[in-house]
């Protein structure tokens, strides 16, 4: 083991371990980002510790089970049995590992400022076990300068120095839960270190188990690229949501408009409207960018306006629903409303930041009797919105649908039989154009 301060020796030892594929990984945080990363690493026969604070997750993984419905389980038991994967809560594994990949949440505070408490906590845990020769890569989405200004000072409290004793890089997670076309190993991986050597080492590491690695000149470039990706998406969704409202007032079908526009072979990329943004990235990441912009004396008006448009969409859907009830001389208070889909996107069990929560909250406040169905979420996680009562997913039967005054399609799960839903419902408020191929009873369908 190189001694602290022995210039060049730590990098050479780490470089040799990577070249011989003997490098040991520690993935901190085994959620939607960390667990697929472990899958890719163990498939490439890399020894990997999976470190998480939740005992239930560790128990499930040791038993060969995935707790993420969209993530397969078949790889877990062989990886555990063969000793390639060790799920653990023991922080001592950090010292044994050569490379630590930080995959912890980066939410917002109640005032919509960045909450880096999980990143700082993980970094402090690493610092307590930091040794010479470590490579640390932050993967959590954050604002530019986080790696250098937040993570690095905590690590250097150990007395070890970056570039001599350890190496630090940023490589933003890129995952799309439920997307079977792109696995983590196939998605190009951007990597930027705090030095050229850190970039080189991190790039070599990721190349062991990912197909394409894209090195950039600094951690700040990698951090900015990630928030740009998701802000780009948020802004364009806001544009099409605003266009949707205009088209509705003019009696034009926005989805037909988009289908027509996307026939142009250049200069247009289709984005689709909905009841609001969901997931851990797109609704949150633009606020990381606006926050750092304020620190540099700038107001990111375009991004903030997009945020306002997107966060207003659940209310737009509810107002459309109220109008549909009023057309049948029904008040919203006392009306039975079924929300179909709690997950923020089709065919997954992730309800983080789901617009369904906001719609349910708005409807309850207006006196509606609200229930929900989601084939992937049996019990509504109230941790995402503590104001809501605990609800159970209702069985989607003809009797259940016909007993509702209004049914809202909030998530376009492929499990749903939309013709059946329309057939047995009185009013269907479709926020996803999910009923586009339903031919019968189209007078019951209201698009929102």
Residues annotated catalytic, as ranges: 281
Q: Which residue has the tokens 């969209």?
A: 70
- 232 to 171, 252, 269, 296: CA distances (angstroms): 19, 26, 12, 21
> Sign (positive/negative) of CA torsion 27, 30, 33, 38?
positive
Nearest Cα to Cα of residue 122 among 93, 102, 99: 102
* Residue 160 backbone phi and psi in degrees, to 5: -85, 155
Burial of 112 (0-12, 13-18, 19+ CB in 10 A): middle
- SS3 (DSSP) at 9: helix
- Between CA 360 and CA 370, with CA 365 as vertex, the angle to 5 degrees is 40
Beta bridge partners of 85: 48
- CA gap 326, 446 in Å, rounded: 13
Nearest Cα to Cα of residue 352 among 2, 32, 122: 32
3-state helix, strand, coil in the chain (%, to 5): 40, 15, 45
Tokens of 294: 């304020």
């Amino acid at each position: 083991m190189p001694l602290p301060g022995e210039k060049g020796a730590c990098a050479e030892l780490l470089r040799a371990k990577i070249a011989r594929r003997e490098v040991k990984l520690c993935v901190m945080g085994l959620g939607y980002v960390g667990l697929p990363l472990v899958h890719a690493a163990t498939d490439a026969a890399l020894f990997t510790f999976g470190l998480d604070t939740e005992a239930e997750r560790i128990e499930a993984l040791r038993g060969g089970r995935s707790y993420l419905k969209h993530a397969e389980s078949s790889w877990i038991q062989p990886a555990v049995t063969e000793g390639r994967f060790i799920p653990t809560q023991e922080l001592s594994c950090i010292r044994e590992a050569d490379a630590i990949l930080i995959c912890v949440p980066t939410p917002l505070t109640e005032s919509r400022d960045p909450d880096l408490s999980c990143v700082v906590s993980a970094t402090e845990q690493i610092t307590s076990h930091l040794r010479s020769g470590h490579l640390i890569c932050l993967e959590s989405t954050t604002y530019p300068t986080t790696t250098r200004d937040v993570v690095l000072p905590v690590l250097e409290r150990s007395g070890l120095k970056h570039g001599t004793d350890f190496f630090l890089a940023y490589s933003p997670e890129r995952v799309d839960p439920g997307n079977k076309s792109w696995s983590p190993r196939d998605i190009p991986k951007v990597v930027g270190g705090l030095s050229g050597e850190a970039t080189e080492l991190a790039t070599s590491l990721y190349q062991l188990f990912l197909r394409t690695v894209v090195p950039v000149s600094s951690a700040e470039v990698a951090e900015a690229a990630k928030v740009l990706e998701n802000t780009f998406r948020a802004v364009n969704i806001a544009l099409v949501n605003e266009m949707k409202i205009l088209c509705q007032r003019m009696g034009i079908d926005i989805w037909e408009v988009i289908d027509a526009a996307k026939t142009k072979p250049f200069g247009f990329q289709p984005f689709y409207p909905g009841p609001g943004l969901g997931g851990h990235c797109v609704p949150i990441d633009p606020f990381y960018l606006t926050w750092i912009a304020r620190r540099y004396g700038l107001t990111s008006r375009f991004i903030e306006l997009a945020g306002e448009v997107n966060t207003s969409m659940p209310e737009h859907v509810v107002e459309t629903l109220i109008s549909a009830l009023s057309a049948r001389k029904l008040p919203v208070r006392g009306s039975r409303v079924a929300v179909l889909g709690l997950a923020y996107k089709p065919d997954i069990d992730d309800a983080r930041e789901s617009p369904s929560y906001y719609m349910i909250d708005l409807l309850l406040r207006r006196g509606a009797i609200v229930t929900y169905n989601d084939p992937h979420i049996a019990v509504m996680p109230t941790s995402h919105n503590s104001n809501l009562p605990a609800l159970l997913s209702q069985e989607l039967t003809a009797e259940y649908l016909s007993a509702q005054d209004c049914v809202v399609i909030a998530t376009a799960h492929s499990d749903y039989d939309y013709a059946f839903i329309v057939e047995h419902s009185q009013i269907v408020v479709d926020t996803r154009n999910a009923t586009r191929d339903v031919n019968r009873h189209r007078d019951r369908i209201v698009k929102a």
